[in-house]
Amino acid sequence: MRIKNLIILFVFSFIFSGFSTDKNPKDKIVQRLSFDSNWKFIQQDIAGAEKVSFNDASWRTLNLPHDWSIEGEYSEENPMGAGAGYLPAGFGWYRKTITVPENWKGKHVEIAFDGVFMNSTVWANGQELGTRPYGWVSFAYDVSEIAKTSKTITFAVRVDNDKQPAARWYTGSGIYAHTWIDIKNNTHVKRDGIFLRTEDDKVFVETELFTKEDAGKVTLITSIIDKNGVEVACDKDKIKLEKEAHVKTELSIENPNLWSVESPYLYTLKTEVVVGKKVVDIVETKFGVRDIEWIAESGMWINGKNVKLQGVCNHQDAGALGAAVPYKILKFRVQQLKDMGVNAIRTSHNPQTPEFYDICDEVGMMVMDEIFDGWKKKAKNDYGAHHFDEWWKQDLTDWIKRDRNHPSIVIYSVGNETGGPIGKDLVATCNLLDPTRPVTSGHSGSDHMNVLGINGGSEKKGFMENLAKNPKDRVFIGTENTHTWQVRGYYRTKTWYRDGFPNRNNTYEIPDLTEKEVFTHDWIQESGRKNRKQIFNSSYDNATVRVSSRLSIEQLRDVPAYAGSFRWTGYDYIGEAGYVHGGWPFKAFMGGAIDLANFEKDLFYLYQSQWTTKPMVHILPHWTHPKVALDTEIPVWVYSNTEEVELFFNDVSLGKQKPGTAWDEMQCQWMVKWQPGTLKAVGYKDGKVVSEKIIRTADQPSKIKLSVDGEALQNSLDDIVQVRVTTTDDKGEFYPYGENRTYFNVFGGGKIKALDNGSPVDVEQHVGPNHRVAFYGLTRAYISATDEKGAVNLLASCILGEKKLITSNKVSIDTEMINLRGNKINPKIEVYYTTNGNTPTTNSSVYNGAFDIEIETTVKALIVVDGKETQILEEKFGQSEGFTWNETLENLGQIGEQAEEATLVNATVSLKGKNFNGKGFVSLAKKGASISWYQENDGSAGNAELTIRYSTKIKDKSGAYIKVIVSDKVVRKEVLLSNTQHSGNNWKTVKIPIKIGRGANTILIESLGNDEVLIDEILIK
């Protein structure tokens, strides 16, 4: 199949925007006013809050976008559960009252929402405007008549995100995107009423016009403006407009500048509607000129160039900022991915906010725009469970019409790990609304897709080898390929597979790096794990489901019919913490090349070495190993895109290597005997040094260093900046195990927006506290401006030392000030401290330098700034504090799904017994009692084997009977679990053949009688 077209951008910009900057609104032809400021909010459901007379004086005042879930506390009891990251959901109300300007009266006025999650209902002056269940669509309501007859308008928005889980990942709650008031004349271009497509130098435009009055003869002027403001094409159409009209216009651009990832050139389509001699509407639409062709045997071609989709999948959230991601951070993240070498993003598994696509257009990032997760229930209370059948066509139509002019969008996806005959209608609707882009899905199995998309199934051993020999009859994309997991700063030399079990039939072998595990450092003692899944994964490329990232990169590069790969994921994300990672306190999924706090993992640099050309070298692991025996050989890897790499240890060359093209030669590896010192990697091209990286062994943590990632804080209200806090030793060397708590105070017109550190197990609240522990040496502070201009300075203070005093009993206290905007301040800072647990005062010991402590000591410090007591710091040092240094357990085989972590109905958890796995087991002692597990299958539907580990001892009977149900289908009406020697002490297994579907599956075991049966775990192979 071939689809050749140009695809363009819809940008929502009108020629005038901004509520506060519209000083002469009566002179404007069109207005788009930001409606984000000064909303009243309460996080509960209140009857009558839509009424104009309702008193909201006690409610909180805030600016949008807003996500109330991320502001809350993590709790294992929150109904979002492991799937959505244990954050609060519930109900929320927003209200805002405005005075209606005279120039609005008689005009066409709409209130527009870029995104509300979920089940939003909107009122204006008590009149219900409508309800939109889906949380990932943009929508608007006409309030022209209300504006015409009212002096004020009170808008009220009720958001119902109470029924949980509402998705299989973190969604956020509330009005998480921008809101607008749009004012037009009564004759105008419809919302999202422009559709552009291009071919070679031709631009084809379809314009939908609408009038509420007798407009008569209307002139439509369509012109194209280049980036320098020069008009390069123009056309006029005269039409008779009674109510609606659909106008087709053809223009041409002489020698157009083409849009591409390397050169994302944007033109502006200017659409003017003229009645008589008066211009009554102007719409400006950014677009790009490009040709795309899809060929089954060779993939995608842009402007005549064969381009591989080097992609990642991303959810909406951004760690501590939740779903309401500020524009500046969103742009930083898109650029960060591009710096990694990524050229495409899949919006998994829902559309993102409109500004995301604008950024991708401007930066040069291709997009697989995805609308749905499932076409039926995948989480208990998701869109598929309650609203899909009724709403899919409306939501899909609004989505396509909103997004179809973006040049960054190259393909649509209508679902993920789902299925059903509705796939045909979804594709047909997409093709009708936008015939210029192909449609795919992530592993739906539908033959109606224009492009074949397969998730984890495309990672299986043999799939790519077969594709190379026998290309598909359609373009093929690995929509989730590959899955690897890693924690920033954490290392293991032994290969790890998901659930501890390498399925030799479909898994590529990844050799161990050493015969015996080198590293023992861990996040918790073995006894503290709730189940064996609660482990960190190695930042060597050796923790995977089926295939390494390196081999996936090689396959994408070398298999012509492999059009694109979208790794799962670009960033770690909140949610999906149970199935893979074992649940609480794990709150996040660790598949990203970048963590929750926008800190790059080693994997980032692997991709950079393969997908970018600017010379780079990167060394892993770090070179601080206090519990590794001296002279132990450690695999030192260097990722580089240079021709040759030389590694030096303490200025002595260990030899040169050339990075290879084969997957297991992409890294240069030296086995280096562990001694404290300096590693230096040097990259060469044509014999000349083009890149260099140095890492050194650090002493105990003694200082912090503050820096800004991305753009500085601007003179703008609510602008945001990312501050990086790096733990160092007293010489300024990075200390990679840093986990001390940093305290923050803002001086001037700013505030702490949120705090993070990238940890998947840190469940402290992001919003509210002024302190955060470091995670592997890094902490993140998001600081936002509360004034449009003026000085903003940030003070960070930290008590530093090894939590377990493993090599040193020295403790330091450091304070650092960073200027974020305006004039830098240099206050007098005094530090007082105690070591006996008492709260320090100005009469306590004065800090003049590092001091020694004994184990099991609590150090507290008072920070006095210009004579004002500003911060109280606290840090505990003891055997039970912080990270651990354990003997590493070898792989104990496949890890099962623990019963005590499952969903129970009329069943109880027991901890009394022997020889069970995990922390306990479950008793089913009543007829109809059940236990169920969620199971994600990222491969194809097919046969599997269910193993149930159980215990039972029924007097005068041969055992107890259960029923087995898989995804609401009974697979075994009656299964005898024969008696064990002793109930609760001895355990047996029974194996049952089952069929599992793609995507979400539920395994349910139900008791058929009142005989007690104990369930320990299940295994699925």
Active-site amino acid positions: 417
Cis peptide bond N-terminal to 569, omega within 30: yes
Rounded Cα–Cα distance for residues 20 and 98 (Å):
13
The values of phi and psi at residue 750, to 5°, are -150, 170
Q: How far apart, in Å, do the first and last CA atoms of the chain sit?
A: 37
Residue 103: partners with Cβ closer than 8 Å, 6 or more residues away: 25, 26, 183
Instruction: Phi first, then psi: give them for residue 22, nearest 5 degrees.
Output: -85, 85
Q: What is the distance between the alpha carbons of residues 432 and 439, in angstroms, rounded to a whole number?
A: 11
> Within 528-678, where are the H helices?
549-558, 602-611
Structure tokens that stand for 118 in this block? 């979920």
Q: How many helical (H) and strand (E) elements, i.e. helices and strands, does the chain have?
A: 11, 65
Which has the closest alpha carbon to 849: 805, 811, 877, 815?
811
* CA separation, residue 847 to residues 594, 801, 812, 860 (Å): 37, 15, 9, 11
**What is the 8-class DSSP label of residue 367?**
E
Lookup: tokens for 924: 């089913």
Place of tokens 């597979």: 497
* β-sheet bridge partners, residue 613: none
CB contact at 8 A, 401 and 412: no
| Angstrom distances, CA of residue 111 to CA of 118, 183, 596, 841 | 17, 9, 33, 54
Contact 439, 467 (CB under 8 A): no
Copy the structure tokens of residue 191. Answer: 């919302």
Rounded-to-integer distance, Cα 101 and Cα 107, Å: 11
**Measuring CA to CA, which residue among 327, 452, 415 is closest to residue 1000?**
415
| Residue 892 to residues 26, 501, 986, Cα–Cα distance (Å) | 74, 9, 20
Does residue 267 contact residue 530 with C-beta atoms inside 8 Å? Answer: no
Q: Where are the alpha helices (DSSP H) in 417-462?
A: 422-433
450-469: b (≥16 Cβ within 10 Å) or e: bbbbbbbbbbbeebbeebee
Judge whether 621 and 671 are in contact, CB under 8 Å.
no
Alpha-helical (H) ranges within 231-347 are 327-340
> What's 697-746 look like in SS3?
CCCCCCEEEEEEECCCCCCCCCCEEEEEEEEECCCCCECCCCCCEEEEEE
Residue type, 119: N
Backbone angles phi, psi at 619, to 5 degrees: -105, 140
Using the structure block, give the residue that is written with the tokens 């240094």.
Answer: 885
Furthest CA-CA distance within the chain: 98
DSSP 156-203: EEEEEE-SS--SSS----B--S-EEEEEE-SEEEEEEEEEEEEETTEE
* Measured distance CA(857)–CA(877) in Å, rounded: 5
Residues 709, 341, 586, 160: is their CA dihedral positive or negative? positive
Is 845 in contact with 833 (CB distance < 8 Å)?
Answer: yes
d(CA 962, CA 981): 19
Separation CA 719–CA 545 (nearest Å): 40
